């Protein structure tokens, strides 16, 4: 019998390993989900795969789970990063959640010339990535980096990683994703698009490809999902 509730934890996981719960985790399992001693919970920590664990102690402020057997080995998604310019709060949350669900290794919010948001809550976005991994059955949680200026990101870029920059100026034109192996990153611009200077710099980089996402200009959150779908179905683990 497999557990219906999944929970991300920080502790190591292994046979007979006890896992103490935080107050928040105990509240979720025993207060919200109404679980009790003997109940099953699927645990993962991003390192040791997924383990079926049983509730050994249950309380309002804590509890203990004990790992019984591994139900899924550890796996890592393809080496794909997502760079995006933060937009409105709910839509930024959506981008992070979908990126985690769709198999991204790292999420980097970038500040561009036309980015509307000048700050993010990195801890809150990381929590959204964890929740998405819990819901989708994954055993890997992507890192959500702090907001960084695009100029700095590009200046420090490792040229072994290709960039697919989704250029809204190519809507309706050709500009497909190159069938090139190796690590990749997808770059999504802000609601106002890329500036002329940013577009010129990106096009001048040898490891960067400007791509089109179809005949229409997409909203930033839609563009992120569309671009990840194209990459995963062409070069990723959907191919």
Cut 0.85: pTM above it: yes
Compute the Cα dihedral for 195, 232, 87, 105 and give only its sign.
negative
pLDDT in tens, 168-205: 888 877 767 888 888 999 999 998 889 999 999 999 99
Domain boundaries, the chain: 6-72, 80-234
DSSP annotation of 200 reads: H
CATH numeric code, 80-234: 3.40.1280.10
Quick one: tokens of 161? 């990683």
Q: What is the largest CA-CA distance in the chain?
A: 61
Phi-psi region of 23 (alpha: psi -120 to 50; beta: other; left: phi over 0): alpha
pLDDT in tens, 92-112: 999 999 999 999 999 999 999
| Angle formed by the axes of helices 122-136 and 89-101, nearest 10° | 40
As to burial, measured by CB atoms within 10 angstroms (0-12 exposed, 13-18 middle, 19+ buried), residue 218 is middle
Residue 224 near residue 188 (C-beta atoms within 8 A)? yes
Task: Determine the Cα–Cα distance for residues 183 and 231; give it in Å rounded to an integer.
Answer: 11
pLDDT in tens, 42-68: 999 999 999 999 999 999 899 999 999
Q: Quickly name the fold that domain 6-72 has.
A: Ribosomal Protein L25; Chain P (2.40.240)
């Amino acid at each position: 019998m497999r557990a219906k509730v999944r929970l991300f934890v920080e502790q190591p996981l292994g046979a007979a390993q006890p896992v103490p719960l935080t107050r928040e985790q105990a509240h979720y399992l025993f207060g919200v989900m109404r679980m009790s001693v003997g109940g099953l919970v699927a645990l993962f920590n991003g390192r040791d795969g997924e383990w079926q664990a049983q509730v050994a102690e249950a309380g309002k402020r804590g509890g203990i789970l004990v790992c019984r057997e591994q139900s899924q080995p550890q796996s890592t998604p393809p080496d794909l990063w997502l760079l995006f310019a933060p937009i409105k709060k709910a839509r930024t949350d959506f981008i992070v959640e979908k990126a985690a669900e769709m198999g991204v290794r790292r999420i980097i919010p970038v500040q561009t010339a036309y980015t509307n948001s000048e700050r993010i809550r990195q801890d809150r976005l990381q929590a959204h990535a964890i929740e998405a991994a819990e819901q989708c059955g994954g055993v890997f949680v992507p890192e959500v980096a702090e907001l960084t200026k695009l100029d700095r990101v590009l200046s420090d870029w490792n040229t072994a990683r290709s960039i697919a920059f989704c250029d809204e100026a190519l809507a309706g034109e050709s500009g497909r994703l190159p069938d090139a192996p190796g690590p990749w990153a997808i770059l999504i611009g802000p609601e106002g698009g890329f500036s002329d200077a940013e577009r010129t710099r990106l096009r001048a980089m040898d490891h960067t490809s400007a791509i089109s996402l179809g005949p229409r200009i997409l909203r930033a959150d839609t563009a992120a999902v569309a671009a990840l779908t194209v990459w995963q179905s062409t070069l990723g683990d959907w191919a």
